[in-house]
Amino acid sequence: MDGFYYIYILLSEKDGKKYTGYTKNLPLRIEAHQKGKVTSTKHRRPFKLIYFEGCLSQEDAIKREKYLKTHYGKMYLGNRLKSYFRAQEEK
């Protein structure tokens, strides 16, 4: 996993909203979110990691993160995660 930059989507189990970010160290970053060390998400804990992608360059990861935050990026994620959300609704 070394050498990758990760774009990730977290789902807040508190408010049901998604958070999109990128990082070099995915496990460490998720731990920071869960422990409330990330200012923008500390009041939305706990989180569930529902999606991630890897990029070989930081520049590509930043571009991908920005895209996934757009209307079209959200549509892509909705289609990509359709079966996940369907399964959650059936619980």
Residue 2 confidence (pLDDT) above 80: no
Mean pLDDT over all residues of the chain? 95
- The architecture that CATH gives domain 5-90 is 3-Layer(aba) Sandwich (3.40)
pTM of the predicted model as reported, rounded to 2 decimal places: 0.91
How does pLDDT run across 23-65, given as a tens digit for each residue? 999 999 999 999 999 999 999 999 999 999 999 999 999 999 9
Give the domain ranges of the chain: 5-90
| % of the chain with per-residue pLDDT over 90 | 88
For β-strands 47-55 and 18-23, DSSP reports them as unpaired
**Token pair in block for residue 70:** 């757009």
Comparing CA positions, the residue from 17, 13, 26, 31 lying closest to residue 77 is 17
